[in-house]
Structure 1
Amino acid sequence: MTTDALAAWCRVRKQIDWTSAVDETPAPVQATVDGLATWCDAAVRSLNPARADRLLAALAQTRADASRKRPLTFTLLTQWQRLVLGTPDVPFRQGDAFAKGGRERYALTLHTQRDFEHCLRESADLEVPLASRAARAYLDVAFFHPFPDGNARLAMLTLAYVLEVEGVQLDQVGPLQTTRYADDSAGAADLAALVAVLIRATHHRATRARWST
């Protein structure tokens, strides 16, 4: 049997100094282009129009929830995932999950859901820079793999939600679409750095656009 990648992620997660992984980024940031909606309409729609429509509906819900600053919980993710998958029943997975052609296994224990919810609550820890919190929440969804299907899409929505609560939208998300590995601490820190770069680039382009009008 493959090793437990979720256990590896939980170890890596504790090893990373998320508070110093990136510098603080500007907030709020209002993008001139809606990067996530554009991604849904381009990359996703070209493969599956119905999936893109569901993802856009879920995105609209995440933004409504962000405007009310609702805490990030498993219950909230469940509401989004119903829209992502177009099904009314999306319970926490009932067994081990697999990804990357079965090369990564995410074990299920009696404490998996509880541990996941604890990690989600940490997305509101203001002592950690925003980019680190968003990247960490993305990886939490990816590696806890809470649902049988749709976790990659949910991870992207979760990252965007953590940013949106602080008034930050990205004008591009394509660079985030890279394979991540649960035992890769350098890769996790690099994702936080990438999110910070995307925030600053969005802020720069938005500022430049305002000055040019």
Structure 2
Amino acid sequence: MTADALAAWCRVRNQIDWTSAVGETPAPVEATVDGLGNWCDAQGRSSNPARADRLLAALAQSRADASHKRPLTLALLAEWQRLVLGVPEVPFRQGDAFAKGGRERYARTPHTQRDFEHCLRDSADLRVPLASRAARVYLDVAFFHPFTDGNARLAMLTLAYVLELEGVRLNETGPLQTTRYADDAAGAADLAVLVSVLIRSTHHRTIRARH
């Protein structure tokens, strides 16, 4: 049987010093371009407009939720995921999940849902820099794979939500969309650095635009 990639991610997650992976970034940060909105619109606009519309609806809902400072919970993610997929219910997966053509397996144990909810609560730990919290929760969604479909889209919405709670929006999100592996500690830390770079880049562009 394929090795449990989720167990590998949990080990990697605990090995990384998220508090020092990146420095503090400016917040709030206004974007001159709605990078996430553009990304959502591009997700199937030419071939499947309904898919893009659903994702944009989920983005709008997530931003409304951020304006009310709703805690990041599994129930909140399920609300967005119902919009993403256009279905009435999205239960937490009941069995193992697979990705990358079956090369990564995310096992389901009696503790998987509880552990995932704990990880979501970690996103509010202000002792950890914002970019690290956003990157880490993105990978949590990707590797816990909580739902049967749409987890990559949900991971991006979740990353953006953590930023949105701090008043940060990005000019671009495309660079975040690269293949990630559960056992790659260096890659996970690099994602935090990339989020930090995108925050600073957006901030600098906004300052230049004002002058």
Aligned to 2:53: 53
Aligned to 2:167: 167
Structure 2: distance between partners of 1:40 and 1:128? 28
CA drift of 1:34 comes to: 0.3
Q: CA RMSD in A?
A: 0.7
Secondary structure of 1:77's aligned partner: helix
Secondary structure of 1:146's aligned partner: coil
Partner deviation per Cα, 1:151-184 (whole Å, 9 max, x = no partner): 0000000000000000000010000010000000
Secondary structure of 2:105's aligned partner: strand
Asked if residue 84 in structure 1 is aligned to residue 69 in structure 2, the reply is no
Structure 1: distance between partners of 2:44 and 2:33? 17
Aligned to 1:134: 134
Question: Does the 8 A contact of 2:99 with 2:105 survive in 1?
Answer: yes
Structure 1: distance between partners of 2:172 and 2:41? 12
CA drift of 1:45 comes to: 1.5
How do 1:26-41 residues align onto structure 2 when only pairs under 5 Å count? 26-41=26-41
CA drift of 1:43 comes to: 4.5
CA drift of 1:22 comes to: 0.2
How do 1:37-116 residues align onto structure 2 when only pairs under 5 Å count? 37-116=37-116
Moved beyond 2 Å, runs of 4+: none
Structure 1: distance between partners of 2:146 and 2:123? 17
The one-letter code of the counterpart of 2:13 is R
Secondary structure of 2:13's aligned partner: helix
Question: Does the 8 A contact of 2:43 with 2:51 survive in 1?
Answer: no
TM-score, structure 2 normalization: 0.99
Which deviates more from structure 2 when the two are superposed, residues 159-168 or residues 44-53? Answer: 44-53
Structure 1: distance between partners of 2:15 and 2:46? 39
Aligned to 1:153: 153
Partner deviation per Cα, 1:49-76 (whole Å, 9 max, x = no partner): 1110000000000000000111000000
Could you tell me which runs of 5 or more consecutive residues in structure 1 were left unpaired when the two chains were aligned.
none
Could you tell me which runs of 5 or more consecutive residues in structure 2 were left unpaired when the two chains were aligned.
none
The one-letter code of the counterpart of 2:65 is D
**Equivalences, count:** 211
CA drift of 1:48 comes to: 2.1
Aligned to 1:15: 15
TM-score, structure 1 normalization: 0.98
Structure 2: distance between partners of 1:14 and 1:109? 19
Which deviates more from structure 2 when the two are superposed, residues 78-87 or residues 33-42? Answer: 33-42
The one-letter code of the counterpart of 1:129 is P
Structure 1: distance between partners of 2:84 and 2:115? 23
